[in-house]
Structure 1
Amino acid sequence: MNKTVVEAPGIFHFLTQADGVGKFLFGVLCVMSVLVWGVLLQRAVKMYADKTKEKQFNEQFWNANSLEDVSKMVEAQHVQHPFANLTRTVMVAKQQFSGQKAGRLAEVGGMSEYLTREMRKALDEQSAKYESGLTLLGSIAATAPFVGLFGTVWGVYRALVNIGMSGAAGLEQVAGPVGEALIMTGVGLAVAIPAVLAYNMLNRYHRLATGRLDAFAHDLYHLALVGEVSQMSPQKRKLSEVPAAA
């Protein structure tokens, strides 16, 4: 005796029965999913590249004889990396400070204060770059479940309308809208969960990368000041070591 196997309708079968609102919400969730995976893949590739460049730059930096050699190396190789950019900022700031004949408000406080301000600006700019995409991921993670929930509510509403218009709660009246409603809930979760995981991963990378960059900035700051003091004449160096009068 042959048995007829009835295939269960797939997701696209239910979507073909959705109205304009349901299709629009499904499209919004699809766009959100593309944005999540696009940001995640882009940042993952950049994170891997930055990690490799960071290791190479640290080796070259600490094996160099002076900051001037590091600066020449950075300019010659056209290195584009947070550590290299910070080093370039410090060297440019030193040259600008030393080349000023007339005092400016920016130079008030001496070389130490000037370097601190320039490095802080560079660190803030890099921190903003590290946070790129986090706002988008957080927004999608927070809104995608509610978009799917709205689709669920709309599907149930359509099912109730069909029942009211037909006067009978037949399976053919409720199967399509209810199936659409369940699918929208699942799609909303499928978009939100990767967004949350990606947000947490990138946020952790941001904290760790910022910590490493801050530690490097601390070392670079002191190396820049030590180099400045070592280039003074013996008379100026002796005067700089005299404590200020009370």
Structure 2
Amino acid sequence: MEPTSTVGFGHFIAQSDFVGKFLLAVLVLMSVASWALIAAKGLTQYLRGKRSTQFLDFFWNARSLDAVQAEISTHGARDPFSHLSAHALHAQAHHARHGAARLAEAGTANDFITRTIKKVLDEETTRLESGLTTLATIGATAPFVGLFGTVWGVYHALIAIGMSGAGTLDKVAGPVGEALIMTGVGLAVAIPAVMAYNAFSRSNRVLSGRLDAFAYELHSFLTLGEAPGAAVAQADGAARSPNVRAMKPATA
């Protein structure tokens, strides 16, 4: 049997040809890209969630849309909800001052605000999905790259064994076992990428749902002056929660 020191990952790399080393380099690059995306999107997601919570707390406790506009002007739009609010408020004020001066502003104020909100929602969806295609691609292809490396390694190992004329188990098991390292590396690269992709996708779906609901209520504030259900709550004499109370419109 070969000495243990001559069998392992280092020996596998040393005896690999150009194709084997290239495939390993591809897997290493995939792993680096995957973990960089996971770290970047994880940090972005944490900050986005924290800032969104802070803005929504302020929004639902604000006395008027002018206060919301002042808050955005002071601190900027740093999350999807404040970004949506900033564009919707600007659309309302712009249409009130200039009317339908251009084709992009055609229609009533309601139509213009609706188009603006839809445009911002599409932009936020695109921003949320940034990088997910790369994670999905890495998760789907890394195992096959590793498998290709294993097949290539087994092929060359068997060719070398056949040429040497030594077909004993100790001569076969070592090289074939080393070739399986590439499959393991491929799986090690793919598993974190797939798990992160699923986690980010679910988080994005939840955020998109919350953003759609907020967009509906924001549109009602801008066009009706109160959130959906506020009038019903008043008529029933029910306690009005912060997300259904009337709000003063922004000053045009």
TM-score by length of 1: 0.85
Structure 2 counterparts to residues 54-203 of structure 1, below 5 A: 54-100=52-98, 103-169=101-167, 174=172, 177-203=175-201
Counterpart CA distance in 2 for 1:6 and 1:164 is: 22
One-letter amino acid of the structure 2 residue matched with residue 115 of structure 1: I
- 2:15 maps to 17
Cα distance, 1:224–1:209 mapped onto 2, change above 3 Å: same
- 1:226 maps to 224
CA distances 1:40-65 after superposition (whole Å, capped 9, x unpaired): 11111111111111111011111111
Aligned partner (choices 31, 43, 46) of residue 44 of structure 2? 46
TM-score by length of 2: 0.83
Counterpart CA distance in 2 for 1:17 and 1:171 is: 19
- 1:204 maps to 202
- Residue segments in structure 1 that go unaligned for 5+ positions in a row: 232-246
- 2:243 maps to none
**How much does 1:209 deviate?**
0.5
Residues matched between the structures, number = 226
Identity score, percent: 50
CA distances 1:183-215 after superposition (whole Å, capped 9, x unpaired): 001011111111111111011011001001111
One-letter amino acid of the structure 2 residue matched with residue 87 of structure 1: S
Give the 4+ runs in structure 1 shifted more than 6 A. Answer: none
CA distances 1:81-113 after superposition (whole Å, capped 9, x unpaired): 111110110111112211225643333330111
Counterpart CA distance in 2 for 1:156 and 1:23 is: 14
Counterpart CA distance in 2 for 1:113 and 1:93 is: 10
Counterpart CA distance in 2 for 1:197 and 1:100 is: 50
CA distances 1:134-188 after superposition (whole Å, capped 9, x unpaired): 1011111111111011001101110121123223325676456423311001011
Counterpart CA distance in 1 for 2:159 and 2:165 is: 10
Cα distance, 1:89–1:50 mapped onto 2, change above 3 Å: same
Answer whether contact 2:77 2:86 (CA < 8 A) is retained: no
Answer whether contact 2:8 2:178 (CA < 8 A) is retained: no
Structure 1 vs Structure 2 CA RMSD:
2.2
